Amino acid sequence: MSKAAADFVREYVQQKPNALLCFPSGESPTGMLHYLGQYAQAGQVDFSKCTFVGLDEWVGMDETNEGSCRHYLNQHLFEPLGIKPENRILFNAKAPDLDQECERMNALIAQHGVIDLMVVGVGMNGHIGLNEPGVSFDLYAHHMALDEVTKTVGQKYFKQQTELHEGITLGLKHFQEAHYPVLIAAGGKKAGILAQALEGKVTNQVPASILQILPNAQVFLDWAVATQLTFAAAK
């Protein structure tokens, strides 16, 4: 799964060296980012002209918080690939005016047109980014209160109990407009919600279900997370 997703990214960047790329934090994408680092070091792909946009962030955190999305991207993406700071578009989740921060992100993305590859994971409640259940499909960057499931599951990224209350995130409108909206998911614990997302009703109560209506969507799964899908059951 990780290699297939990395190969897809590599081939796209080879065709469009100045692509606008968005990657998530979390467990599922780590292997993909590792492969991309190997490809870059081997000279198989050059990310120096790419621009990277952050998917989301816990409100009130920055890279000094080890559980923050920015810290993850620094560790697994920006530092291994040698991405210059000027090629990173990231949320300031400590901004005094979060609405203004969302507008800033929207404007920076709009300068590039749309996101070329927007890679997301899926949460245990079906969220993508921090677009929580009940979110509008028509939002660009925005901030919203976190679902109780996200608050609980999110603790795994922190060494000690951490209060999580709000997220700031790119919206599902960005995902719809991306040249390639991409989902990467792994692990049997997410098999149920993934089946709902890909084969259930399209509903904002399961934000990841939006993938069903996106013609260019790409989905990369391991076998464990795919076990409840109809095609997997037929094998």
| Residue 57 near residue 167 (C-beta atoms within 8 A) | yes
Read off the pTM: 0.94
Question: Distance between CA 61 and CA 183 in Å, rounded?
Answer: 25
Q: Which of 56, 57, 101, 147 is the catalytic position?
A: 56
CA torsion angle 24 27 33 37 (round to 10): 140
Domain count, the chain: 1
Provide, rounded to the nearest whole percent, the portion of the chain with pLDDT above 70: 98
Question: Distance between CA 89 and CA 118 in Å, rounded?
Answer: 13
pLDDT, tens only, 98-154? 999 999 999 999 999 999 999 999 999 999 999 999 999 999 999 999 999 888 877
pLDDT value at residue 65? 82
Within a domain: residue 16? Answer: yes
Q: Which of 44, 62, 51 lies closest to 87 in space, CA to CA?
A: 51
Within a domain: residue 94? Answer: yes
Active site residue 56: yes
Q: For 91, how many CA atoms within 13 A lie in the half-sphere containing its CB?
A: 35
- Token pair belonging to 159: 């060494």
Within a domain: residue 235? Answer: no
Instruction: Please report which residue ranges of the chain form alpha helices under DSSP H.
Output: 2-15, 30-41, 69-73, 79-81, 98-111, 148-153, 172-177, 191-199, 230-233
Q: Which of 94, 6, 31, 20 lies closest to 55 in space, CA to CA?
A: 20
pLDDT, tens only, 61-105? 888 888 889 999 999 999 999 999 999 999 999 999 999 999 999
Question: Distance between CA 212 and CA 80 in Å, rounded?
Answer: 34
Place of tokens 């810290």: 71
pLDDT of residue 233 exceeding 70: no
Which amino acid belongs to residue 8? F
Within a domain: residue 233? Answer: no
Within a domain: residue 167? Answer: yes
Q: Please, which residues bridge with residue 4 across strands?
A: none
CA-based max dimension of the chain: 53
Q: Which of 101, 125, 142, 143 is the catalytic position?
A: 125
Q: Which of 101, 132, 143, 147 is the catalytic position?
A: 132
Within a domain: residue 234? Answer: no
pLDDT value at residue 66? 84
Within a domain: residue 142? Answer: yes
Active site residue 127: yes
Residue 232 binned pLDDT confidence (cut-offs 50, 70, 90) = low
pLDDT value at residue 163? 82
Active site residue 165: no
CA distances from 159 to 24, 154, 197 (A): 20, 11, 30
Which amino acid belongs to residue 228? Q
Q: Please, which residues bridge with residue 190 across strands?
A: none
Q: Which of 127, 142, 143, 174 is the catalytic position?
A: 127
Active site residue 11: no
Within a domain: residue 77? Answer: yes
pLDDT, tens only, 155-211? 887 777 878 899 999 999 999 999 999 999 999 999 999 999 999 999 999 999 999
HEC profile of 33-62: HHHHHHHHHCCCCCCCCCEEEECEEECCCC
Domain that holds residue 132: 2-228
* CATH number of the domain that residue 143 is part of: 3.40.50.1360
